[in-house]
Structure 1
Amino acid sequence: MNTVIAFIIIFGVLVFVHELGHLVFAKRAGILCREFAIGFGPKVFSFKKDETVYTIRLLPIGGFVRMAGEDPEIIEVKPGYHIGLLFDDKGEVNKVIINNKDKYPDAKIIEVEHADLERELIIRGYELNEEETLQEFRVSKESFFVMDGQELQNAPYDRQFGSKTLGQRTMAIFAGPMMNFILAFLIFAFLGIAQGYPVNESVIGELTPDGPAQTSGLQQGDKVLAINDTSVSTWEEIVEIIQVSPNEELLFLIDRNGQSVNIPITPKADTVDGKTRGIIGVYMPMEKSVLGAIPKAATETYNWTKEIITGLGKLITGQFSIDMLSGPVGIYKSTEVVAESGIFLLMRWTAVLSINLGIINLLPIPALDGGRLMFFAAEAVRGKPIDRQKEGLVHFIGFALLMLLMLVVTWNDIQKFFL
């Protein structure tokens, strides 16, 4: 149960932060955001704040921000339609009643002759049960459609995604992956402040219980000056000497509170993947500093980004197989292992997953953010956008292929861990 809770929280945080990036920068550009969703499928929970409906959906396989204009508008008002109109204090139409007009006795019922609710914001028509005089009505920029008792805000063209500059649209899409990298950086910075960050100095860090270092009298904070008369000044030099000396006594020259102390230690032999190395049961020294944690967080974010990109490169070149990929099931099992090691390792795992999500979304694959950015790059080169229908078809095919890949990876994970 603890693993389930941890997995749900990690998944929720990663998707929330990613989609929050899209939402914030879309709203900054003036785009009407109809829905902010965590998950796909049927709604489990929802509430509305300002113009946006915030929802949690049943299937935990991602999330989305539904921006006006990205998909064809659901409701159209065409010539010949009978609609009802309700007006605001300025005399402008603020509600267009599509059906069940008898439930709105104050509505003015007209037959539509012309309607443009995106650019001109006007409706012309003939009022029923009156002389057939053509009337024109101004529509409020904050008007709503009412259909089956549900209100849907109308999106004038200047509130739609496609009306914004190339830079604004690019930032609204890029902001999702960007927020994943920012989240990872903040987690690493917090860990550096709360837990400390490793420093490459010849100082003894935390000792494991009953390890050779502990039983020999070594203490946390001791500064190692030399091992077997070989001077050392970094942690890497200490580790290198210990690892090549299993079951061999080493004489540590220690500086402890200004006094020199000689301590003999015999590293214990430890075999991993068929290779035997020496260990004495000490951890790398850690330092806690707010100022030091920030550059360390940036370095760790960069290193993990580089590592993940290198792994993807090996997958593309065939050095890794698809069987080495993990989907939700594989991530769940890894989370189960990491959760047993404590909250700090779980937070570090969250940061690594956040970087991974950011990188994957930036890949130039249709249906992903990187695919959208690829079309924006083509638009910048051509000087005009690619046909929306053609782009939509490419993204649809890409989404279908991604779902197929997810099914294959998930089935591999199930066979690997449960069968």
Structure 2
Amino acid sequence: MTIVFTLLLSLGSLLFIVTLHELGHFCVAKWSGAYVYEFALGFGPRLLTFKGKETWFSIRLLPLGGFVSIAMEAVDPPKGREEEIVPENRKMEALPTWKRSLFILAGPLVNLGTAILIVTTVFMATLAKPNDMGFYGQRLASTGIAYKLIKEQEGQEDIDDQGYILLGYEVYDTKGELRDKAEFGTAEQLPIYSNIVYKFIDNFQKDIYQEQKDLRIKFNYLNFDYQNHKVKSSQVSSGKWTQLSKPDDWQIQGKNTTVGIMAPTRYFLTRQEAYRAGWRQVGQDSLGLLKAFGQIFKGNIHALSGPVGLVKGSSQTTNVTTPASFLLGMGAISANLFMFNFLPFPPLDGYKFCEAWWEKARKKEINSKVKIGITAVGVSFMLLLFIIVTIKDLIGG
């Protein structure tokens, strides 16, 4: 039941964000005087329809998007609406370019505003950003080697899982010979989490961790006050030795993770700092989509997720972390939709915007057959990409 609930909640959240996007288009279309045939949530056959005097509001079978249907010269009326008489001045082509542009941009801009509102509100309310890979130090899993070693050294039953920063480690074999060491940072230049992880992963691939069955490790660490961003003591402590009996103990990823390091929580000192961080986070989330698309041209389809992947990822977040993390996930999805729809590729809003101003500059409309052909090619490509990404998301690739 929990899995079903989280999946439904995640799907509902995605539909909520899509609805806001389409409402942006719809409101500007009505304001500009365009003739709106339909406001639809989902694709495919209609499940439920409310027929207004002009606009039909419908819910369709596939809850993976939505659309606003407006009267256009180049597009036939929807089925069942062929007999309606639409004034020429209310068709899309008759609108001034600036109104058409505002209509096109309204959906993505609503997504951008939604993302900024959600993320800045969460950051300002909690004064924290969970799982920040770009912040100092790390959190320590209570079942991990690092946590147990530091707890023993500090002589406490339990320690703050984010009260210490790992600065490095040393590894000796049973003969007392130094086999490996690494330095992540110093008391003056604190290491960020991503640097710690990468060094762990790189170093622990060495042959010695596969050859040796008995290794000893000690971590060098620093006591740190995360909430105030202050080092409690500049003295670097060295933990006692802990015995490692099998190579699996060195895994950073996978089921046998025992080093036990996770991304830390970043705490903000002021509401103003949290607000600025919210804007930066939305910018990073938006650019993240462009990077994912860039990976496609390198043959890495795994970097991109479709609606199924977004729902799966969001449901996992809902199930294992806090409501704040789930809301931040919603903000990230909204930022992704903003950037996705801004791509200048047919039939996305970014392409329609460029098309409108290209016609304005040429003072001549693009031939309707050319428009239809370009859109058909774009839709075919997007549909193929959607199918591939959906299959990848379903099989967990």
Partner of 2:274: 293
1:172 to partner: Cα distance: 0.7
Pair 1:191-2:122 in alignment: yes
Report Cα offsets for 1:217-238 as digits up to 9, x if no partner.
55589799x9999543756399
The TM-score normalised by the length of structure 1 is 0.65
Partner of 1:232: 188
Partner of 2:220: 250
1:72 to partner: Cα distance: 4.7
Partner of 1:35: 38
Read off the aligned partner of 1:340 and give its amino acid letter.
Answer: N
Partner of 1:7: 10
Read off the aligned partner of 1:333 and give its amino acid letter.
Answer: K
**Cα distance change on mapping 1:258 and 1:370 into 2, 3 Å:** closer
Distance, in Å, in 2 between the alignment partners of 1:394 and 1:237 is 46
User: Would you say the 8 A contact 1:242–1:279 is kept in 2?
Assistant: no
Read off the aligned partner of 1:247 and give its amino acid letter.
Answer: I
User: Would you say the 8 A contact 2:7–2:312 is kept in 1?
Assistant: no
Describe the SS at the equivalent of 1:398.
helix
Pair 1:330-2:309 in alignment: yes
Partner of 1:307: 288
Q: Pick from 182, 201, 204 the counterpart of residue 113 of structure 2.
A: 182
| Superposition map of 1:42-191 within 5 A | 42-48=45-51, 51-69=54-72, 72=75, 74=77, 154-191=85-122
Distance, in Å, in 1 between the alignment partners of 2:261 and 2:82 is 73
Read off the aligned partner of 2:372 and give its amino acid letter.
Answer: G
User: Would you say the 8 A contact 2:127–2:271 is kept in 1?
Assistant: no
Report Cα offsets for 1:106-127 as digits up to 9, x if no partner.
xxxxxxxxxxxxxxxxxxxxxx
Pair 1:339-2:318 in alignment: yes
**Cα distance change on mapping 1:347 and 1:320 into 2, 3 Å:** farther
**Cα distance change on mapping 1:285 and 1:349 into 2, 3 Å:** closer
Read off the aligned partner of 1:21 and give its amino acid letter.
Answer: G
1:195 to partner: Cα distance: 2.9
**Cα distance change on mapping 1:288 and 1:392 into 2, 3 Å:** farther
Indicate the structure whose relative CO is greater, using CA pairs within 8 Å and at least 6 residues apart: 2
User: Would you say the 8 A contact 1:214–1:281 is kept in 2?
Assistant: no
1:174 to partner: Cα distance: 1.7
Q: Which has the higher helix share?
A: 2
How well do the aligned residues superpose, as a CA RMSD in angstroms?
Answer: 4.4
**Unpaired segments of 5 or more residues in structure 1?**
76-144
**Cα distance change on mapping 1:259 and 1:249 into 2, 3 Å:** closer
Partner of 1:321: 300
Distance, in Å, in 2 between the alignment partners of 1:404 and 1:281 is 37
**Unpaired segments of 5 or more residues in structure 2?**
169-182, 204-215, 243-248
Q: Percent identity between the aligned chains?
A: 24
Describe the SS at the equivalent of 1:247.
strand
Report Cα offsets for 1:189-228 as digits up to 9, x if no partner.
12202332349887x997755634566355589799x999
Report Cα offsets for 1:330-355 as digits up to 9, x if no partner.
33432343232233222222222222
Read off the aligned partner of 2:220 and give its amino acid letter.
Answer: L
Q: Which has the higher strand share?
A: 1
**Cα distance change on mapping 1:189 and 1:49 into 2, 3 Å:** farther
Report Cα offsets for 1:62-102 as digits up to 9, x if no partner.
21111123655649xxxxxxxxxxxxxxxxxxxxxxxxxxx
Pair 1:371-2:351 in alignment: yes
**Cα distance change on mapping 1:278 and 1:20 into 2, 3 Å:** same
1:175 to partner: Cα distance: 1.7
Partner of 1:266: 239
Return the index of the structure with the highest Cα Rg.
1
1:287 to partner: Cα distance: 2.5
Report Cα offsets for 1:347-369 as digits up to 9, x if no partner.
22222222222222222222222
